[in-house]
Amino acid sequence: MQQSINKVVIVGGGTAGWLTAGVLAARYQSNQDGVEVTLIESPDVATIGVGEGTWPSMRSTLQAIGVSEADFFQQCDASFKQGSCFRGWRDGSNETYYHPFSLPQGYSELNLAPFWQAQSEQINFADAVSQQSRVCELGLAPKQAGTPEFAFIQNYGYHLDAGKFAAFLARHCTKQLGVKHIQDHVVDVIADDDDYIQHIRTKKHGDLAGDLFVDCTGFNALLIGQHYQIPTNSIRGILFNDRALAVQVPYQSSDAPIASATQATAHQAGWIWDIGLPSRRGIGAVYASDFMSDAEAEASLMTYLNAFVDDNSLKQLKPRLIKFEPAHRTKFWHKNCVAIGLSGGFVEPLEASALVMVEFAAKMVADQLPANRDVMTVTAKQFNQKFLYRWDRIVEFLKLHYVLSQRQDSEYWRAHRQTETIPETLQESLRLWRHQAPWHLDTPYIDELFPAASYQYILYGMGFKTAVDTRSTRHHASNQALAQRLFSENAKRTQQLTSGLPDNRALIRHITQSVGTVN
């Protein structure tokens, strides 16, 4: 008789641990099979404390966990994120482009990219096909005060305070979803004769047994790395960034506008993120230590900050240095242990792809929670295939931002364009896209992380040219009228939204004032 999987033990109480606990506990809360979720976190090891940008997927994750969006806004210092705005990536001048979360107008009907090419000198791609770039440019919210929780007019995710978010999820999971919470340090991992984890040994609570162990111990990777020694696959040869300097910066006034998108400004050997929360901004320089020293990175960050922070306040800011190895595990699920979050891997947060991977992983574990160990080997194989594929797509998509740059100001940018640093599948895609715009067949799975639209926003935002050959002109001629209608509809809708949507701060204030104080 195979041992059934009833007891899930999550080690680690950062965002990965608590999101996984929430997704699993919410799914099995009313389940008669009695799946029990326990989360253990060390009082001695701090969480990473960064990770402030999410994808729109977080809306459905929060809904599934059963939290109120208003409570979330109030308790996590959250704001709306409607995409990313890239500055200085094309050639180092002050040019900008958007990767908005909303899909292009008429996305299910027609690929507008080939039709936009003819007017590319008059209007940028994002403005031509979506309303969201203009909405972001004006600092507007993605919905009205009367729009229901989690619903939207323009697709959105969130910017949030990572520490507050983990604490918010912990309260909800323990009070509403029955997650058992233990604060203790795990000192050892004990496996049975088949090399499955039998129990973990803690400092004060003795041994803790389980059927499935989720490693959410961050860069420590206590179970998947230290215990099982599952190797990592380094991405350093493709994406060079391996350090970040992070600061929290107060607004100049309590009424200062809150940006609607993450600002990602390129510098000589990396880029700077700038995220607007209601109470402060979270800003940080990401860079490659092979190309830039910590002191140079700090100088670059200070120059950025000095544009809006006075000299005195600037001196008070003490950036925090975070080192990371751009890498992911060669497998994430081994025996009865699955790694979720930083323990599974991490690359630079250019498209904020870490938390969405946590959400997808937690959901897959919940969806496929194996009945017994025999089934678990199959589930583990599927999980590993799926997430290795996703890692490859993330790496390629991030690399795309660098490959298309024409910056000449440093060895860093030139190295990014060298063929040997570009994954072969990305080189193939680029060859294809020189003759046809990205479309659905380029992203074949229904649960792809990045739809063809995302590739279009980056390619055409970066000034990439797809040749309009006679074949494609003939192919598209019959759709000319439809394309013109969609462009006109987009322009009209942009006009309506930019004159009708409230600004971010006004809407967030309205939402948070509607709830009481935290208990």
Q: Which residues does the annotation mark as catalytic?
A: 81
Determine which residue in the list 10, 17, 247, 360 makes contact with ligand FAD, applying CB under 6 A. Answer: 17
Cα–Cα dist 313/317, whole Å:
7
Cα–Cα dist 341/224, whole Å:
12
Cα–Cα dist 97/448, whole Å:
23
Determine which residue in the list 21, 35, 40, 305 makes contact with ligand FAD, applying CB under 6 A. Answer: 40
In our burial notation (b when 16+ CB lie closer than 10 A, e otherwise), range 418-427 reads: eeebbbeebe
In our burial notation (b when 16+ CB lie closer than 10 A, e otherwise), range 375-384 reads: ebeebbeebb
Give the residue with the Cβ less far from ligand FAD, 185 or 485: 185
Determine which residue in the list 5, 22, 26, 51 makes contact with ligand FAD, applying CB under 6 A. Answer: 51
Determine which residue in the list 86, 125, 240, 324 makes contact with ligand FAD, applying CB under 6 A. Answer: 324
Determine which residue in the list 114, 349, 370, 461 makes contact with ligand FAD, applying CB under 6 A. Answer: 349
Cα–Cα dist 52/75, whole Å:
14
Determine which residue in the list 23, 52, 160, 403 makes contact with ligand FAD, applying CB under 6 A. Answer: 52
456 neighbors 104 (Cβ within 8 angstroms): yes
Judged by CB under 6 A, the stretch of 43-51, 111-119, 396-404, 469-477 that binds ligand FAD is 43-51
Q: Determine, following the binding rule CB under 6 A, whether residue 114 of this chain makes contact with ligand FAD.
A: no
Residues 327-346 interacting with ligand FAD (rule: CB under 6 A): 341-342
Determine which residue in the list 35, 37, 78, 186 makes contact with ligand FAD, applying CB under 6 A. Answer: 186
Determine which residue in the list 322, 388, 415, 482 makes contact with ligand FAD, applying CB under 6 A. Answer: 322
Binding map of ligand FAD across residues 137-176, x = CB under 6 A, - = no contact: -------------------------x--------------
Q: Helix (H, G, I), strand (E, B), or coil: what is residue 202? A: strand
Give the residue with the Cβ less far from ligand FAD, 138 or 322: 322
Please give the DSSP secondary-structure letter assigned to residue 224.
I
Element (H, E) at 377: helix 373-403
Give the residue with the Cβ less far from ligand FAD, 127 or 242: 242
Cα–Cα dist 475/479, whole Å:
8
Q: Determine, following the binding rule CB under 6 A, whether residue 64 of this chain makes contact with ligand FAD.
A: no
Site size for ligand FAD, by CB under 6 A?
A: 37
Query: Closest Cα to residue 51, out of 314, 322, 296, 306?
Result: 322
Bridge partners, residue 298, by sequence: none
Determine which residue in the list 185, 199, 205, 476 makes contact with ligand FAD, applying CB under 6 A. Answer: 185
399 neighbors 238 (Cβ within 8 angstroms): yes
For the bound state, the minimum distance from the C-beta of residue 53 to ligand FAD, rounded and expressed in Å, comes to: 3
Give the residue with the Cβ less far from ligand FAD, 15 or 111: 15
Q: Which amino acid is at 227?
A: H
Write the CB contacts of 75 (distance below 8 Å, at least 6 apart in sequence).
Answer: 164, 167, 168, 518
Bridge partners, residue 9, by sequence: 38, 213
Q: What angle do CA 409, 122, 100 make, to 5 degrees?
A: 70
Q: Determine, following the binding rule CB under 6 A, whether residue 16 of this chain makes contact with ligand FAD.
A: yes
Judged by CB under 6 A, the stretch of 213-221, 249-257, 392-400, 427-435 that binds ligand FAD is 213-221
Determine which residue in the list 12, 22, 142, 278 makes contact with ligand FAD, applying CB under 6 A. Answer: 12
C-alpha dihedral, 63 to 10 to 448 to 260, nearest 10°: 50
For the bound state, the minimum distance from the C-beta of residue 518 to ligand FAD, rounded and expressed in Å, comes to: 21
Judged by CB under 6 A, the stretch of 28-36, 48-56, 312-320, 471-479 that binds ligand FAD is 48-56
Determine which residue in the list 23, 35, 42, 103 makes contact with ligand FAD, applying CB under 6 A. Answer: 42
For the bound state, the minimum distance from the C-beta of residue 97 to ligand FAD, rounded and expressed in Å, comes to: 19
**What is the rounded end-to-end Cα distance, in angstroms, of the chain?**
47
For the bound state, the minimum distance from the C-beta of residue 403 to ligand FAD, rounded and expressed in Å, comes to: 22
For the bound state, the minimum distance from the C-beta of residue 452 to ligand FAD, rounded and expressed in Å, comes to: 22
Q: Determine, following the binding rule CB under 6 A, whether residue 395 of this chain makes contact with ligand FAD.
A: no
Handedness of CA 66, 68, 71, 75 (dihedral sign): positive
Give the residue with the Cβ less far from ligand FAD, 103 or 222: 222
Specify burial of residue 23 (Cβ count, 10 A radius: 0-12, 13-18, 19+). Answer: buried
Query: Closest Cα to residue 368, out of 385, 383, 357?
Result: 383
Handedness of CA 357, 218, 399, 243 (dihedral sign): positive
Interaction site with ligand FAD (CB under 6 A): 11-17, 40-42, 45, 47-48, 50-54, 162, 185-186, 216-218, 220, 222, 244, 246, 284, 322, 324, 341-342, 349, 352, 354-355
